[in-house]
Structure formats: structure tokens, C-alpha cells
């Protein structure tokens, strides 16, 4: 292959550039010709794009279709219609089956009539809507915190919060399986970063003992219910460690809300721990609350600071009133109809137990809402997902780098609306197709 119009092979061009850099120390640099400076900057030559094309070519050779961005023709609940074919759906976050609930739709319709479909600017400049504060205060009550701030994006909520609160003199220590938003936020903050193996709080303790004294502020980050593994940490021990080492604790309970605890309030209710000891509760509105956006619940001072300085809040358009209303009504329904949480947990346990009895590897999942079936290798995982879809079962394949190497899996999101027969037939189909693999 020729190097970007230079007329030189890639290796010859690399050698020439290396010689030029070495010679630059001994002699004044010479003006380069336009031919020497020319590079192929097309997207087609971008290494990430080339990797994508390589993977797609493998799929073509093996006869597999692309599992990403499949078209859903209807509202995706426990059942969906994917590219014209009905399938039992395990690829949506609608844990409590509230998406499309007539009460939420009616409230959203009324909010659209009153406020329109956009607040048209950032809240700091366009002013507040009471619907935003109603949602934020309802979320604050859920976590027993003083206040809450709602962002238009869940990812931006995490990134902006870390970038605002942490800096180059600080340390962020997080679970190795943490969501991408925490990694990006730590990078933007410029803080030192340490990882501890998934849910290994002994290593976390050792890391804090070794490094705490070197930094001004330290933030520990974990999740209430990990979206890939369906498990979580020992929250009480995390609180003990954060107090012992004078650190902050942030818990991402995006998948825990509506799923864990007798009434769905999250990991703290599931483990019967006082939530007020957690400094920052991070969450998103797109799971059990069937809306879109994110939030940070914490002290009044922290929320005040974020509302004044968090870039993803100050410099972003405010959340549409319709989104805020949808999430608030969904939270009210979660609280007033605990039978939804109970059914979700019952159906999740049914799937979890049936999968284990069928000899499927469900990892360390707790069996609440999220249940992985571990395949390990990427290609068989994609093959299995395609065979299941052909049988009317939509389960999404999760591959590296979304998970670690040799940790590919199918991930099943359980919905309170999934029936016993759907779950039993799904587990049987997975076991049959696994045997064929």
C-alpha cells in the first residue's frame, strides 16, 4: 500500500520521517514540500473505521448479519417487532413495564401542550420550569438527600460531575467494570485513576491505604447493579472505607432503581443500608423511569455547585418538560404499585433459576433485572444471538471491548411483563442452541 499520496511505501515513509527527526537535532530544519507533508486523512483510513470494516467482513464470510441497530417497528416492551418479525424482547431497560403506560402518556401529552417539546435553552439562561424541580425533589426523597440536579443526558451527568468536582491533584478509584461515563469523566477531570477488580473491596482497601495520603480529594465509584454482570458490591463496606479514608463515595444506581429493594428504591434498600452516607447518587431516567436524562442526588451545596459550574448542565439545553414529567410519574407509579417491583423480581428469579438448572453460566448475577449468559468467545456469541432471533427471541450479544476478553455474553433484561411461558421457552431455546454450538 502506498502512503497517502507520498509515492513512498509506508515503511520507507516511516524511515524517512525518523531520519528527519534525528537530523533535526544537528541541523536547522528544512522547509518540507507539500508532497512530503501530504497524508491520507480520509475516514476510510481511520484505524477505528478499518477495524470496523474488518469485523464486518468477518461477519460476511461467516454468513452472519449485523446485530447492531436492528429496526424495531413498535414500542419495545416484553415483545417487539424487529424488521417485521415479532420477537420476545430481552434488550430493553423497561424493567417495570411502564413504557407507554396510559397515565404517563397522558401526563406527557399535557406537558407538551403546556410547555412544548423543548425548553429551548439552558435552564440557567431560559429559566426554570416547576416540572424540573418536582422531579429533582422526588429523586432526592428517594435517596434521602438534600437535593438533586437533573441533566439532559445520563452520560453527561457523570462526565460533568467528575470534571467539575475533581482535578489533577485528586484520585478517582473505581470498579474495573464501571460504566464508560465514569472513565471519560475521570479523563476529563485530569485526576489520577486506579481500578480495582470487579467487586474486590479488599484491593480497594489496599489501594486507598497505599495512595490516599498523596491526594487532596479521593472519590470511590461503584454501581448498585452492574449492567453487564447483574451483581453489585457490599454497600456498607464501601461506606466504611470511605469514612476511614476520608473519601467521597459515588454510587451509580441507574439499573438498581426500580429493580432492587422491596419497593424498588435501589441497592441501599436491597441491602438495608442508610442511603444518606453516600455522597453522590448517580442515575439515569431511561431505565425503570422510561424517560431520558440523568441526575445526581446529594447535598444542597454539591447541587448548587453543579448547577453553577457543571458544563453538561450550564452549557446544555435543559431537559424537555415532557421528559421530566414522564420520569416523575413513573417514579410515582413505582412507589404506589410495589407489585410491579415484586413481579419483576419474581420473573427475574424464575429466569435465573431456570438458566442455572439448564446448565447455563449466569456468572455472579443476583438474578434481578439483568441476567447474563456467558459464552466467552465472541463469534459463538453472535451466532447464538442470530439463531435465537430466528426463533423469535431478541437477546443482545455483548462483546469486547464492552466486556473483557473471553467474557462475551448474551445479556437478558427481564421485564415485569414477561410471562412464565416466555421465560421458560426462552431458557429452553438458549440451552438447545448452546448444545448445537
- CATH number, position 246: 3.40.640.10
- The DSSP annotation for 278-347 comes to -SEEEEESSSTT-S--EEEEE-HHHHHHHHHH-HHHHTSPPPPHHHHHHHHHHHHHHHH-HHHHHHHHHH
Report d(CA 227, CA 413) in Å as an integer.
9
Residues counted in the chain: 437
- CATH number, position 421: 3.90.1150.10
Domain boundary among 303, 336, 369: 336
In a domain, 23, yes or no: no
My answer on whether 135 and 218 are in the same domain is yes
Domain boundary among 336, 358, 378: 336
Query: Which residues of the chain are modeled with pLDDT < 50?
Result: 1-10, 12-27
My answer on whether 313 and 344 are in the same domain is no
The pLDDT assigned to 31 comes to: 61
The pLDDT assigned to 38 comes to: 75
The pLDDT assigned to 11 comes to: 52
Domain count, the chain: 2
My answer on whether 417 and 369 are in the same domain is yes
My answer on whether 346 and 385 are in the same domain is yes
The pLDDT assigned to 3 comes to: 39
Cα 210 to Cα 172, 204, 244, distances in angstroms: 14, 10, 13
Report d(CA 79, CA 209) in Å as an integer.
49
What are the start-end ranges of the H helices in 2-77?
Answer: 10-23, 34-37, 47-62
21, three cell numbers: 527527526
The pLDDT assigned to 54 comes to: 86
Contacts of 399 (CB under 8 A, 6+ apart): 378, 381, 382, 408
The pLDDT assigned to 35 comes to: 66
The pLDDT assigned to 4 comes to: 40
My answer on whether 135 and 252 are in the same domain is yes
In a domain, 283, yes or no: yes
My answer on whether 332 and 351 are in the same domain is no
My answer on whether 280 and 369 are in the same domain is no
DSSP state, 228?
Answer: T
Cβ neighbours around 240 below 10 Å, total: 14
In a domain, 248, yes or no: yes
Type and span of the H or E element at 219: strand 218-223
pTM of the model: 0.89
The pLDDT assigned to 62 comes to: 79
In a domain, 201, yes or no: yes
My answer on whether 164 and 86 are in the same domain is no
Domain boundary among 301, 336, 371: 336
Cα 282 to Cα 222, 223, 257, distances in angstroms: 10, 9, 10
> Sheet harboring 79-82: ordered strands across?
79-82, 85-89, 393-394
Residue span of the structural domain in which 400 resides? 61-95+338-436
My answer on whether 323 and 399 are in the same domain is no
My answer on whether 74 and 131 are in the same domain is no
Report d(CA 389, CA 381) in Å as an integer.
12
Buried b (16+ CB within 10 A) or exposed e, 279-316: bbbbbbbbbbbbbbbbbbbbeeebbebbeeebebbbeb
My answer on whether 416 and 386 are in the same domain is yes
Omega within 30 of 0 (cis) for the link into 401: yes
My answer on whether 315 and 372 are in the same domain is no
Report d(CA 8, CA 19) in Å as an integer.
15
The pLDDT assigned to 41 comes to: 86
Amino acid at each position: 500500500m502506498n502512503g497517502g499520496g507520498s509515492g513512498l511505501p509506508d515503511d520507507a515513509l516511516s524511515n524517512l520521517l525518523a531520519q528527519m527527526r534525528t537530523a533535526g537535532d544537528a541541523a536547522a530544519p528544512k522547509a518540507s514540500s507539500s508532497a512530503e507533508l501530504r497524508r491520507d486523512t480520509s475516514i476510510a483510513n481511520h484505524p477505528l473505521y478499518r477495524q470496523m470494516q474488518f469485523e464486518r467482513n468477518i461477519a460476511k464470510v461467516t454468513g452472519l448479519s449485523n446485530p447492531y441497530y436492528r429496526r424495531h417497528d413498535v414500542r419495545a416492551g416484553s415483545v417487539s417487532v424487529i424488521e417485521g418479525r415479532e420477537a420476545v424482547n430481552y434488550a430493553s431497560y423497561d424493567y417495570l413495564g411502564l413504557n407507554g403506560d396510559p397515565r404517563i402518556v397522558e401526563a406527557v401529552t399535557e406537558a407538551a401542550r403546556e410547555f412544548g417539546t423543548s425548553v429551548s435553552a439552558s435552564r440557567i439562561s431560559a429559566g426554570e420550569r416547576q416540572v424540573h424541580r418536582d422531579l429533582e425533589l422526588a429523586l432526592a426523597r428517594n435517596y434521602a438527600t438534600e437535593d438533586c440536579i437533573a441533566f439532559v443526558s445520563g452520560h453527561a451527568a457523570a462526565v460533568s460531575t467528575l470534571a467539575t468536582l475533581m482535578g489533577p491533584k485528586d484520585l478517582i478509584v473505581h470498579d474495573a467494570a464501571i460504566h464508560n461515563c465514569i472513565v471519560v469523566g475521570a479523563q476529563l477531570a485530569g485526576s489520577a485513576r486506579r481500578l480495582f477488580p470487579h467487586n474486590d473491596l479488599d484491593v480497594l482497601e489496599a489501594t486507598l491505604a497505599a495512595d490516599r495520603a498523596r491526594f487532596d480529594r479521593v472519590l470511590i465509584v461503584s454501581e448498585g447493579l452492574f449492567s453487564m454482570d447483574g451483581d453489585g458490591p457490599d454497600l456498607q463496606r464501601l461506606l466504611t472505607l470511605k469514612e476511614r479514608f476520608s473519601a467521597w463515595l459515588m454510587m451509580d444506581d441507574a439499573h438498581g432503581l426500580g429493580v432492587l429493594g422491596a419497593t424498588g428504591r435501589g441497592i441501599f434498600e436491597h441491602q438495608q443500608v442508610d442511603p444518606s452516607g453516600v455522597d453522590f447518587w448517580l442515575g439515569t431516567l431511561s431505565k425503570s423511569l422510561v424517560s431520558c436524562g440523568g441526575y445526581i442526588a446529594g447535598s444542597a451545596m454539591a447541587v448548587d455547585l453543579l448547577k453553577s459550574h457543571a458544563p453538561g448542565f450550564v452549557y446544555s439545553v435543559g431537559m424537555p418538560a415532557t421528559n421530566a414529567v414522564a420520569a416523575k410519574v413513573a417514579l410515582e407509579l413505582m412507589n404506589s404499585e410495589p407489585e410491579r417491583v415484586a413481579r419483576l423480581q419474581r420473573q427475574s428469579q424464575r429466569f435465573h433459576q431456570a438458566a442455572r438448572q439448564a446448565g447455563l453460566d449466569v456468572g455472579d448475577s443476583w438474578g434481578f433485572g439483568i441476567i447474563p449468559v456467558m459464552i466467552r468467545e465472541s463469534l459463538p456469541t453472535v451466532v447464538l444471538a442470530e439463531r435465537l432471533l430466528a426463533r423469535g427471541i431478541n437477546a443482545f450479544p455483548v462483546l469486547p471491548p464492552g466486556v473483557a476478553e473471553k467474557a462475551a455474553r448474551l445479556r437478558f433484561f427481564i421485564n415485569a411483563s414477561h410471562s412464565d411461558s416466555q421465560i421458560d421457552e426462552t431458557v429452553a431455546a438458549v440451552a438447545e442452541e448452546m448444545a448445537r454450538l
